[in-house]
Structures are given as C-alpha cells and as structure tokens.
A and B are shown apart, each in its own frame.
Chain A
C-alpha cells in the first residue's frame, strides 16, 4: 500500500488540517503522522472519528503521500493545492503572509 496521512477540514473555520503524532490537528502536511500500512491507516481514521465527535473536524479521509524526504508530501495535485493553498493569488495578496 502507499503511505498515507489523514486530512480533514476544521469545523469552526473550514481550514485544511492533518493529524499529527501528538494527536493535534495541524495545518502543516509535512508534520502529519504517516501510516505505512493498512492497520496504521485504520488507526488514523479511528482517531479522526473521535475528533468528529469532539467537534474539531469534518470530512476526514486518507490521502496518499510520498515520504522520500522524510516528510510527507501529497501525491495528487488536488492534495498539494489543499496543503499549500491556491496556485494563483489575487494581485494584492501574498498567501504566505
């Protein structure tokens, strides 16, 4: 299987988040907990189900990542865009700000 992390959107503000090893839901994909097998992936989803009940997140799902650099990076473009923001910015705006 591919390596995976679990992602969702925060309930209160909709922002993209990932489950970290600490159990926190964080914005940086690079800091997310990586599941290397099906059992670990299922564990991530189980912890996400708890976060739904705790009203932290909505719509959790597994995304495929590569971890060649030691830090997870999204495989699909859609998930790359979710992780880093739109690839286009209004002229007035700096997404990194």
Chain B
C-alpha cells in the first residue's frame, strides 16, 4: 500500500456527494435553469475552466503523490475524455485540456473511484497543498513533510470561513534544509526544522509571483507542532478580514504583508492567535500520529550501498552513467535511490505525458517503486523508492517510453506554462519558446558543463511558469500584435530565494532563443571553477550579461 493518506468512508462520501451535486448543477446549466453567470463559480469550485479551445479540468494531486492505480486512472481519463494526454503543472496537479462540460460529471465520477477530485483547484480558496516532491525518501529530510501537508489539507478542505477569501491562497510545506517546494514564493511557506533537539515550524508569509512578485517574510521562526493549525487559522483570519477585495490585482496576502510591514502583520496574527491558540484547533499528538501512520515508509529491504550491479553497469554504459548522475538522488534508505523522470524531452512540451506514458509509469512504479509516483512543481515525475540494483532496468524501461532524458535540473529542464496555445489569459506563447531553447541547448555534454540552470517561461504576467524565480526567466508579452519576450536573470526558488532582474529591452521569439544561448556562453566565460550560474550572477551582477546582450545593438 502506498505511503500516503488513504480515504476513509467520510472522505469517500464527501467526494461522491460532491460529484452528484456537480452532476445536478451541470444538468441545470444545460437545461437552462442556471445562467452562465450563476454556473461559472460552481464549475470553478470543481476545477473546471473554459479556456481557448475547450473546457479545462484541473485535478488535485495533494502534495504531488500518486499511486500506480491513480496514474492508470489519469491515463484512462486522458483516453476517454481528452486526447490521449495530460499536462502536469507547477502546482503538482494535472490538467486536461479538451474536456466537454456534458462529460465532466462522468469524469469526476471516474476520479472519485480512485479517491481523487478537483475540489479547490480553482477559486479564492486555499488551493492544493504542495510539499517537497522527495518527501519520505530524501536523505536530507528531517521528516516526511506530507504528514503536515495532509493535516493542513484536511483543515483547509471546505473550510467554511475561508471559502471566499479575497484571492486564491497557496501553502507549501517542507521538512528539509533544502527547499524543493519554492516556499518563499507561496502565500504561506511552512518549514519543519530542529532547534536544540526540539522540532518546530518556520512560518513564512506573503511570497508570490504574478504581477507583483515578492519573497515571503518569516513571521515566526519556531512554531510548536501543537500550534500549527491555530496559527495558520490566525493568519488566514487576518488576511480574510484585511486583505483587499476592491482590486483583484492587490488582493493577495503578499500585498497586505507588504503594506503593513511584516512585523505589524505578525503582531495582528499574534493578537488573533492569542484568542484561539488554546481552542479546539490545537493539534493533539494522537491526531498527528494517526496521520503519520498513513505515511509509514514502505517495506524497504535491508540492502548494502552502493549496489554492485549499479556500479558495474555505470562503468560499462556511459549513457546509463550520465542518467545516474543527473536523474537520481540520494535516498534515506541504504541501497535505494530516488529517480527523477523527465517530462522534458528535447523539443517536447514541458509537463505533457501521453496516456501510454502514464500507464508505463504506473507499471514501472508498481514493479520498482512500491506503487508510488510523485509530481514535481518543476513539471517532472519521480519514482521515490527504487532499489539501486534495479536502476538499470528502470532506466531501460523509462527510456523505451521516452521518459529517460537525463536533464533534470539542467538547461533543457524548462518550466513552461501552457501560454497562448491553450490559456485564455496568456499574452504570448510559451511552449514553442521552451521547445526552441531545449532544442538549441540539447547537447548533453554542454548541458552538464553548464550545470544547474533553471529556465522558466510564462506567457503572461500571472507567472504560472515561475519566470520570476528562473535563473533565466522569460516573460511573454504582446506589443502591437506581436509576441515579445522579456528576459530576467538571477531569480531562484530555493532557500536563498531571489527574484530575477529585467536586463533590458525585450526580444522577438527568435531573438529570445539567441539571447538565452548568449547568456550561457557569457556565463561559461565568466564563471570561476565549479561556480553555478546563480552564484556567478550574484557575484557579477547584471552588467556583464547586459553587455553581452545589448552592447552590439
């Protein structure tokens, strides 16, 4: 059984009643009993958008964890209701792009059969709670962050007081010094850490991207476990009361925190918290233990590391050795590895997976990773628990389905929003730019030489493609009917998060690809031995890169 939260009867009843409720709402819309104005908020509460070409359904994948059966169900949905594929998103969710309103209740019914839904994937509510995609497996973690993400998920699901917030609200959780969940660009980031042998949470508030990007401020650096929910409730109450509702562009909590100042905001939270901290939201140890029980590690075998088969194969097969270097990660259990599954083939669409690939992933997970798959906010997938001795077989199996591109974390591992090819909000296309850049920078030796390099592309200022925290960020805009691309450098989503700086005038679609390549050439020339791109940029500043891009103009 996969180490994740398993629905009980109450959960299943809730989800199935919600499907039945939505079926009735769709029937009333199609019969004319509901107008579009009346129906629109109801469909959005169920994750159903109307995009450029069709309805789009966003399905929640809490903390990015999927069982093999759930992945097979997503593949089946892709075949039956979409066009044989799905798109994994920067919020660890999946979106289906070609959905029919009249078929959506049946689709939601199929999802409910595998304990999944689309509740709170849209609207001004607390959205799907995200977490470290290596949770429960990473060698460097203090605990499985999904335990606390699940507790927050349960608290926030259909929370009556927070169903009409000023704006959407995103919470991410980690339990490691390495931030793999981009905490500091979330409305709330929660990081479990240890001090003097005790555990507590650092709570960061007011991060976000969009048209006004901001890095979250820490307003409490050591919150006891018992107080987690009461403190979050206090934050949400202050935001719900004082966040702006007169202007949607100033309605996110980051604006409130910024306008008040972090200290004043924290004081308001503390005042609210004082009223409720000793109330029913206190987190009993028994309840934490109950949730923790769902996340028991799988039945790992007692193995030696490193596995001799892995070592021998790596010695004789350089392609396998490269994939091992790039696409596997240290596991907490000796003899096991975390496998990154790239959804970024050269020239491909970032985050897309075909139904056949999803089925293949499910089979590989069932055979080699205790039935478990993760979705990353970087639009890749993860097999969290693979025996080192099976890595060669897993590499071959992934490779036969186009899922073994050894580029995770490298230049062609590009985050891209759907852009104007699908999204009704977009001002420019993103995917073709990602495809062109990944093709231009395809050489694997050169990518490995460049090292960790996050290129992130958004097709509008809403920044779903995380361009503000791209080492190289690209923002697509429309000017006089033409697509233009603004380039930023120096963003980073990690523990030492930073926002990218605009370098200068924007580029055409062809020009932005050349510009990105020029930046990589300049970095190679300017770096010190072993210096990563972001470190070189922080040392040098924008000047030499500006010179490279604009001096000749």
Contacts and interface: CB of A to CB of B under 8 A. Distances in A.
B50 A78 contact: no
B30 interface: yes
A52 to B, nearest CB: 7
B101 A11 contact: yes
Question: At the interface, is chain B mostly helix, strand, loop or mixed?
Answer: mixed
Contact of B421 (A15, A53, A87): A87
B84 A92 contact: yes
B352 interface: yes
B50 A77 contact: no
Contact of B53 (A12, A85, A93): A85
Given A14-B55, A16-B53, A92 B420 contact: no
B183 to A, nearest CB: 32
A92 B432 CA distance: 17
A16 B421 contact: no
Interface string B96-118: 00011110000000000000000
Interface string A47-71: 0000011010011000000000000
B421 A13 contact: no
B85 interface: yes
Contacts, number: 82
A53 to B, nearest CB: 8
A13 B102 contact: yes
B52 A82 contact: yes
B22 interface: no
Contacts of B51: 14
Contacts of B348: 91
Contact of B52 (A11, A58, A76, A81): A81
B99 A90 contact: no
Contact of A12 (B30, B83, B349, B402): B30
A86 B53 contact: yes
A58 B85 contact: no
A78 B428 CA distance: 8
B429 A87 contact: yes
B52 A13 contact: no
B32 interface: yes
B349 A88 contact: yes
A73 B85 CA distance: 30
Interface in B12-30: 29-30
Contacts of A76: 481
Nearest to B97: A86
Contacts of B99: 14
> In the complex, which of the residues B101, B356, B402 has the most CB atoms of chain A within 10 Å of its own CB atom?
B101
In which size bucket is the chain A interface?
A: 20 to 34
B512 interface: no
Interface string B24-57: 0000011110001000000000000011111100
Contact of B50 (A58, A81, A91): A58
A75 interface: yes
A16 B32 CA distance: 20
B101 A13 contact: yes
A55 B102 CA distance: 13
B354 interface: yes
Given A55-B30, A88-B435, A91-B348, A12 B101 contact: yes
Given A9-B50, A52-B36, A86-B53, A92 B421 contact: no
A85 B53 CA distance: 7
B363 interface: no
Given A13-B102, A59-B50, A92-B354, A87 B432 contact: yes
A32 to B, nearest CB: 17
B245 to A, nearest CB: 25
A19 to B, nearest CB: 18
B53 A14 contact: yes
B149 interface: no
A77 B420 contact: yes
B422 interface: yes
A90 B481 contact: no
B481 A15 contact: no
Contacts of A9: 50, 54
Given A12-B100, A52-B36, A90 B349 contact: yes
A18 to B, nearest CB: 14
A16 B52 contact: yes
B85 A92 contact: yes
B483 interface: yes
A46 to B, nearest CB: 17
A14 B32 CA distance: 16
A9 B43 CA distance: 16
A16 B51 CA distance: 10
A77 B83 contact: no
- A52, A53, A75, A88 — which one has the most chain B CB atoms within 10 A of its CB? A88
B354 A90 contact: yes
Given A12-B100, A12-B101, A93-B84, 8 more contacts: A11-B101, A13-B101, A14-B100, A55-B32, A59-B50, A87-B421, A88-B431, A90-B349
Interface of B: 29-32, 36, 50-55, 83-85, 99-102, 345, 348-349, 352, 354, 356, 402, 420-422, 426, 429, 431-432, 435, 478, 481, 483
11 contacts: A13-B102, A52-B36, A53-B32, A77-B483, A81-B429, A82-B52, A86-B53, A86-B422, A87-B429, A90-B349, A91-B345
Counting from the closest, the 7 A-B pairs by CB-CB distance are A86-B421, A13-B100, A14-B54, A14-B55, A88-B431, A12-B102, A58-B36
